[in-house]
Amino acid sequence: MNLEFAHHGAVDGVTGSCHQLGLPDGQSVLVDCGLFQGAETSPSGAGAARLEIEFPLDKVRALIVTHVHIDHVGRIPHLIAAGFRAPILCTQASALLLPLVLEDALKVGFTRDQVLIERFLDRIRQQILAVPYQQWHTLIDGDLGLRFRLCPAGHILGSAYVELDAREGAQRQRVVFSGDLGAPYTPLLPAPKPPYRADVVVLESTYGDRIHESRKRRRERLQQVCEHALANQGTVLIPAFSIGRTQELLYELEEIIHRNRERRAAPGVSWEDLDILVDSPLAADFTAGYRTLREHWDNEARRKLTAGRHPLAFEQLTTIDDHATHLRSVEYLSRSARPAIVIAASGMCSGGRIVNYLKAMLGDPRHDVLFVGYQAAGTPGRVIQTYGPRGGYVELDGRRIDIRAGIHTLGGYSAHADQKDLLNFIGRMRVKPRQVRLVHGDEGVKETLARLLRERHPGMEVVVP
């Protein structure tokens, strides 16, 4: 049986994830439909500025969503605008979070008209079909068949990898799409278990060339970097994805506060009294979502709850909702010498409230920016991360800003599996795939991971599409 693979995004980079699996008669399913960020584009040149869907949809029977990050779901509005009416399948947690993400995407990219937005979200809600983890569901029935199930991926709440069984007469093939895989010790989430078997695995490779620091070590470094940065009474700005990373950071900061209550975080301010701000209505909504979905938390997080702690809602935490308060906060923190930690989106500084903070604070050496997530090529985040430490500049909203603030990167902080985890995902499968297709990684990174996979599994075909 000849299965067709098409990769419409996340081929030459890590954003715009959109993959298609086709049966011999042309029927197909999509896995994810994400936005491109920064300089990354689709194979035919669609990018952050060109979002239209460039392939026929009439034989697409479903869209399966692995998780609700914008680079995996952000083009769903365009998919629907192009006439897509088939079901959008995802886990129960993703079904709850997806409308929040898309509402935000619509406000940023389409319209501020709340009536239009509501109408659109109603349509999306009708198309969303939530399925529990681990249960098989039939997508296509007949001479040719296709069924799928979702398994926990440990990346963000509700994230899944997808197993698809294709059938033609007596022939069967199993394909696994990894989506984004989490690291085994991602705060709050249980570690992902590799699939039992597959014929083909489509594997993400974002950190295919790196080994993350241990969880304990990176929490210590987070504390060190914060204390160092706060020593001169400035603000620490952490650009972060509203979903996933923000909640992980809050979880880790709560642990730091819990262990160091009396310890000095900044001159005259103990950790217990340090202001931590989440400046994002979206992040606040997600954090609330994370709190209600606690049955999906891992054992460690649940033990903290039992002990009376509130890992995502501690006392020093303030969330800023409305825009006026946001502007006041930027103004106040950039002028006063009150130490604080601010977490705001977007994670790559390409939009969102973090941009206002950066415009106000990047020029002042008292402040610091702490990167904890991947910065795609062409994003302001990548520019600040690369040129900031050498005294360079960045353009934000058409304005050139010289970077005098301290710039730090905590590389080990990632909701993504590292090289070892990716190799284990394949290596620990009971029945190994004959083919692995590497997507979702920068060029050199995919080559590194491909070489290691070929060395370890000589019979395996490793393809970099």
Contact residues for Zn ion (CB under 5 A)? 69, 180
Q: How far is the CB of 273 from Zn ion (least distance, A)?
A: 34
Q: Which is nearer to Zn ion, 37 or 419 (CB)?
A: 37
Q: Are β-strands 171-177 and 160-168 bridged in parallel, bridged antiparallel, or unpaired?
A: antiparallel
Shortest Å distance, C-beta 167 to Zn ion: 30
Nearer of residues 12 and 180 to Zn ion, judged by Cβ: 180
Handedness of CA 217, 218, 219, 220 (dihedral sign): positive
Shortest distance in whole angstroms from residue 295 CB to Zn ion: 21
215, with CB counted inside 10 A (0-12, 13-18, 19+), is middle
Nearer to Zn ion, 146 or 157 (CB): 157
Is residue 393 within 8 Å of residue 400, measured between CB atoms? yes
Say if residues 51 and 75 touch (Cβ distance below 8 Å): yes
Q: Compute how many other C-beta atoms are within 10 angstroms of the C-beta atom of residue 457.
A: 17
Residue placing its CB nearer to Zn ion in the complex, 250 or 401: 250
CB of 241 to Zn ion, least distance (A): 8
Structure tokens at 361: 């604070």
Minimum Å gap between C-beta 197 and Zn ion is: 25
Q: How far is the CB of 358 from Zn ion (least distance, A)?
A: 23
Q: Which is nearer to Zn ion, 163 or 180 (CB)?
A: 180
Q: Compare residues 287 and 334 and give the one whose CB is closer to Zn ion.
A: 287
Whole-number Å distance between alpha carbons of 75 and 19: 13
CA–CA gap between residue 268 and residue 328 (Å, rounded): 24
| Whether the Cβ atoms of residue 197 and residue 425 lie closer than 8 Å to each other | no
Nearest to 317 by CA among 285, 340, 300: 340
| Minimum distance, C-beta of residue 155 to Zn ion, in the bound complex (Å) | 6
Distance CA 294, CA 303 (A): 11
Q: Which is nearer to Zn ion, 140 or 157 (CB)?
A: 157
Bridge partners (DSSP) listed for residue 435 = 200, 461
Q: How far is the CB of 415 from Zn ion (least distance, A)?
A: 7
What is the rounded CA–CA span in Å between residue 337 and residue 51?
A: 43
Token pair 């997600």 is found at 286
Which one, of 147, 119, 123, lies nearest residue 135 by Cα? 147
- Residues 155, 415 contacting (CB under 8 angstroms): yes
CA distance 325 to 338: 17
Contact 35, 74 (CB under 8 A): yes
* Residue among 160 and 401 whose Cβ is closer to Zn ion: 160
Between 181 and 257, whose beta carbon lies closer to Zn ion?
Answer: 181
- Residue 133 beta carbon to Zn ion: minimum distance, rounded to whole angstroms: 17
Nearer to Zn ion, 235 or 379 (CB): 379
| Least separation in angstroms between CB 125 and Zn ion | 22
Q: Which is nearer to Zn ion, 32 or 199 (CB)?
A: 32
Nearest Cα neighbor of 273 from 338, 360, 228, 319 is 338
DSSP conformational letter for 16: S
Nearest distance from C-beta of residue 238 to Zn ion, angstroms? 18
**CA-CA-CA-CA torsion for 122, 126, 130, 136, nearest 10 degrees?**
-160
Please say which residue, 180 or 285, places its beta carbon nearer to Zn ion: 180
- Find residue 357's DSSP bridge partners: none
Phi and psi angles of residue 337, each rounded to the nearest 5 degrees, phi first: -110, 35
Shortest spacing between CB 66 and Zn ion, in angstroms: 8
CA 298/CA 290 separation, integer angstroms: 12
Residue type present at position 193: K
Tokens for 254?
């709560």
